Structure 1
Amino acid sequence: MTSEPLRVAVVGAGYWGPNLIRNFNSSPLWTLVAVVDRDTDRARHVIRGVQGVQLFASLGDLLDSDIVDAVAIATPAATHEALALQALTAGVHVVVEKPLAHDPRAGERMVALAKKRGLVLMTDHTYCYTPAVRRMREFIEGGELGEVLFVDSVRINLGLVQPDVDVFWDLAPHDLSILDYILPGGMAPVSVAAHGADPLGAGKACVGYLTLPLPGGAMANVHVNWLSPTKIRQMVVAGTRRTIVWDDLNPQQRLSIYDRGVDLLQQSVDSVDRRAATVSYRLGDMWAPALPEAEALGAMVEEFAASIRERRASVTDGASGLRVLSVLAAAQDSLARGGASVALPQRSQETTV
């Protein structure tokens, strides 16, 4: 492979496609050579002012032209598998907008083909490339938090009620991908319990709660909501030593580190075999680390290029996408069973290349 910029095409010029087009076009690591969309008028409007970009009405026509090294797929989740398999079969690297696919079995087929062909399959878990989430991972990996005790994540706002998916499939992939990225060894809940409500009568859950017991006794809770008049994007990760609070809507202080918590000093058994514990409350300092201002998608396209050139899996590879899909599928099963806890099967976490 030469040191020349890699050639990429964006498939889908709808909601997310223009963001990918802008970031690939501005990156020195990439040459944006094409945009694929059945609505060529829409695609032509999106690339207005961008020189040298060809338009194609189908992915097949693009692949027949043999002008790309990679494609970025930004289409509805139900189309991801067919498009990704088509590109991988043609020997082209693929990054897919979240979620990886519409169900775990489709994702497994995508991962298997990428591995067989020696190609990069990457999931665009955009939040994992934000400076705040990257710093969260550094703190946890470095042992600054100690052992993780609980995670509480809230992602609520007013709209948009999606026509094809419920609130879990729309919003929860962001929180689940962050958990998979920051937790040591990736996200590995032992079970999932999902509770959802449809107070509007929209035919799908518009308000939802996920409960995920984690190995070692920790617990993660995710709240997603399309009906809240206020917008909140916040995650609390508490450890035995410190706690991180991430507030994505506070640009002046996205991360806050608290040296506060509860310590179990001793535990004993009294004469009637009842356990007694002595606890101590830490009331230490709080500080906010400085974070660079950088667009997450810019970092994502850099990682995509690096994983291709270095012939390695990306940090949000197909296996990461599969772990998120497995939780979403279990959540759907739990919803259908009235919120019952659903055990998660052990899935392979092998990398894609």
Structure 2
Amino acid sequence: MNQSHAATDDPIGVAVVGAGYWGPNLVRNFQTSVEFRQHWLCDLDVRRAERVLGDYSTVRATDDLGTVLADEAVQAVAIATPADTHLTVAMAALRAGKHVLVEKPLAASAEQGRALVAEAERRGLSLMCDHTYCYTPAVLRIRDLLHNGELGELQYLDSVRINLGLVQRDIDVMWDLAPHDLSVLDFVLPPGVAPVAVAAHGADRIGAGRACVAYLTLHLNTGAIAHIHVNWLSPVKVRTMIIGGSKRTLLWDDLNPSQRLSIFDRGVDVAATEELGDEQRREALVSYRSGDMVAPALPEREALRTMVEEYARAIRTGTPALTDGRSGLRVLATLEAATRSLADRGRLVEITDWTTS
């Protein structure tokens, strides 16, 4: 049954698949949303699902995905299972006619991501990736500032995400930490601006068998660059992003709750003049601008709550979510290109699947 959009204002029937680390957060937000009515929590460990539900007596627990997908009251599914199961679970849900929300990453590879995007588009269903950072008040404001031109034309973006982290057994530091920064980059870039290639450098100085420190440099189609530093070995935790525009520069410090955003009216201006002589020459005149710093007030709101509302909007209107399946695919394609670059000592690798539409 194709349910391309919700025809009424009735709550959308939803089921959560996965009761591990992230699933309980989804359950809590669906339960408090007026847009949804949760019917199921599905997990291979049904006792764990029952413990998560606790007092949510109207929600049933099961270990049978088929039962969930056969329930006509369920119009939408939210998947919070390990990444290597995303293709199987999400594809089954789409083929059952359900709208799908998938915890990041969208799938285990770009090839799998393409299959999910194609299936959702063929059936007219919403496919959304839970890039939670994109729905924080700070990132939503950054997106507005870049899209409405208040920062001017993007010149550079520099992101640092470092900490003394848990060294993963199955993925390197790029696949562990960089998806956050890449999803934010995809979210905030103005229309028509997109990365076209990436060069990645990394190191494993502790013998972990995979890169524990990495640097990604993305080349944009406008000539601007974006740089991402991810690191498991830093004794200090840093979560900052600097976005330089032709008009203003923005600093996002996610670990500073009292001043997450700072906007500086400071920078470099270059004026070009033409002097006529034996031949025409252009001389660059550099001047430095030193204006005020503004720290805009941001609302305190849980990002997942906003994400859930966006999922409902996409389902009801039949229009793509702000972080739709294609955004998840673009992140996967960039990570795969970065992996090829890392293996080839930082060679610049073209990024596929990143469109400017």
Shorter-chain TM-score bucket reads over 0.9
Partner of 2:219: 213
**TM-score, normalisation: structure 1:** 0.94
- Whole-Å Cα distance in 2 between the matches of residues 337 and 220 of structure 1? 20
1:275-298 per-residue CA deviation (whole Å, 9 max, x = no partner) reads 753210101000111110000000
Of 228, 235, 241, which residue of structure 2 is paired with 1:235?
241
Please state whether the residue corresponding to 1:81 is helix, strand or coil: helix
- Give structure 1 stretches of 5+ with no counterpart: none
**Cα 1:318–1:186 shift into 2, 3 Å:** farther
1:291-337 per-residue CA deviation (whole Å, 9 max, x = no partner) reads 10000000000000111011111111111111111101101111111
Please state whether the residue corresponding to 1:345 is helix, strand or coil: coil
Offset, 1:29: 1.0
**TM-score, normalisation: structure 2:** 0.93
Is 1:117 matched with 2:123?
yes
Offset, 1:21: 1.1
Is 1:61 matched with 2:67?
yes
- Whole-Å Cα distance in 2 between the matches of residues 119 and 301 of structure 1? 16
Is 1:310 matched with 2:317?
yes
Partner of 1:145: 151
Partner of 2:232: 226
- Whole-Å Cα distance in 2 between the matches of residues 142 and 277 of structure 1? 28
Offset, 1:266: 2.9
AA partner of residue 124 (structure 1): D
- Whole-Å Cα distance in 2 between the matches of residues 39 and 287 of structure 1? 50
AA partner of residue 75 (structure 1): T
- Give structure 2 stretches of 5+ with no counterpart: 1-6
Offset, 1:267: 5.6
Aligned 8 A contact 1:180 1:187 in 2: no
Aligned 8 A contact 1:150 1:239 in 2: yes
Is 1:8 matched with 2:9?
no
Offset, 1:146: 0.8
Aligned 8 A contact 2:192 2:356 in 1: no
What value does the CA root-mean-square deviation take over the aligned residues?
2.0
Partner of 1:286: 293
Please state whether the residue corresponding to 1:216 is helix, strand or coil: coil
Offset, 1:198: 1.8
Please state whether the residue corresponding to 2:346 is helix, strand or coil: coil
- Whole-Å Cα distance in 1 between the matches of residues 355 and 161 of structure 2? 29
Partner of 2:25: 19
- Whole-Å Cα distance in 1 between the matches of residues 145 and 169 of structure 2? 39
Is 1:328 matched with 2:335?
yes
Offset, 1:274: 9.3
Aligned 8 A contact 1:5 1:31 in 2: yes
Q: Name the % identity.
A: 58
Aligned 8 A contact 1:126 1:300 in 2: yes
Of 300, 303, 313, which residue of structure 1 is paired with 2:307?
300
1:49-107 per-residue CA deviation (whole Å, 9 max, x = no partner) reads 22211112132232133341111111121111111110000000000111111111111
Of 31, 34, 37, which residue of structure 2 is paired with 1:31?
37
Partner of 2:178: 172
Of 40, 46, 52, which residue of structure 1 is paired with 2:58?
52
- Whole-Å Cα distance in 2 between the matches of residues 342 and 69 of structure 1? 40
Aligned residues: 350
- Whole-Å Cα distance in 1 between the matches of residues 154 and 297 of structure 2? 23
**Cα 1:332–1:61 shift into 2, 3 Å:** same
**Cα 1:130–1:37 shift into 2, 3 Å:** same
Aligned 8 A contact 1:180 1:320 in 2: yes
- Whole-Å Cα distance in 2 between the matches of residues 9 and 187 of structure 1? 36
Of 196, 212, 216, which residue of structure 1 is paired with 2:202?
196
Offset, 1:162: 2.2
